[in-house]
Homo-oligomer: A and B are copies of this chain.
Amino acid sequence: MTAGQQPPTARGLSRRHLLLGGAAAGIGAAGAIGIDLAGRAGATSLSPAVDVPLNGTQIVPFYGIHQAGIETTPQGHATLVALNLRADVDREALRRMMRILTDDAARLTRGEGALADSEPELAVTPARLTITFGFGPGLVSRAGGQAPGWLRPLPAFGIDRLDPAWTGGDLLLQVAADDPVTIAHATRMLLKDLRSFATVHWVQTGFRRAPGSEKPGTTMRNLFGQVDGTVNAGPGTHDFEQLVWATGENPGWLTGGTGFVLRRVSMDLDKWDQLDRSGRESAVGRTLANGAPLTGTNERDEPDFAATTPLGFPVIPEYSHLRRARSENPAERIVRRGYNYDDVRVGEGISNSGLLFVSFQADVDRQFVPIQQRLDTLDLLNEWITPIGSAVFAIPPGCSPGGYIGDTLF
Which A residues are within 8 Å of any B CB, using their own CB?
2, 4-5, 7-8, 11, 14-15, 18-19, 21-22, 27-35, 37, 40-42, 54-56, 76-77, 118-122, 125, 127, 178-182, 184-185, 188, 191-192, 195, 200, 203, 205, 207-217, 221, 223-225, 269, 272-273, 288-289, 340, 342, 344-345, 350-351, 353
Contacts and interface: CB of A to CB of B under 8 A. Distances in A.
A22 B30 CA distance: 10
A324 to B, nearest CB: 23
Nearest 10 CB-CB pairs, A to B? A4-B4, A32-B212, A8-B8, A56-B213, A119-B225, A29-B32, A22-B33, A55-B212, A184-B342, A29-B29
21 contacts: A18-B33, A22-B32, A22-B33, A29-B211, A31-B212, A37-B37, A54-B215, A76-B210, A119-B225, A120-B225, A121-B221, A125-B209, A179-B213, A181-B210, A181-B213, A184-B340, A188-B269, A195-B350, A205-B344, A211-B212, A212-B212
Nearest to A214: B56
A165 to B, nearest CB: 11
A27 B2 CA distance: 37
Contact of A225 (B122, B203, B216): B122
Contacts of A182: 213
A191 B28 CA distance: 36
B29 A214 contact: no
Nearest to A183: B342
State how many copies of this chain the complex holds: 2
Nearest to A341: B184
A185 to B, nearest CB: 7
Given A184-B340, A188-B269, A221-B121, A32 B211 contact: yes
A121 B7 contact: no
Contacts of A35: 18, 22
Contact of A288 (B18, B121, B195): B121
A189 to B, nearest CB: 10
A382 to B, nearest CB: 19
Given A14-B40, A180-B342, A195-B350, 19 more contacts: A4-B4, A11-B42, A15-B37, A22-B35, A29-B55, A29-B211, A29-B212, A32-B32, A32-B216, A34-B216, A54-B215, A120-B225, A125-B213, A127-B213, A181-B207, A188-B351, A191-B351, A203-B344, A212-B212
B210 A211 contact: yes
Nearest to A2: B4
A183 to B, nearest CB: 8
Contacts of A119: 223-225
A120 to B, nearest CB: 8
B8 A212 contact: no
Contacts of A212: 29, 31-32, 54-56, 211-212
Contacts of A211: 29, 32, 55, 210-212
Contacts of A34: 22, 27, 215-217
A272 B118 contact: yes
Contacts of A288: 121
Contact of A121 (B54, B178, B216, B225): B225
Nearest to A8: B8
Nearest to A119: B225
Contact of A55 (B54, B185, B213): B213
Contacts of A122: 221, 223, 225
Contacts of A344: 203, 205
Contacts of A178: 210, 213
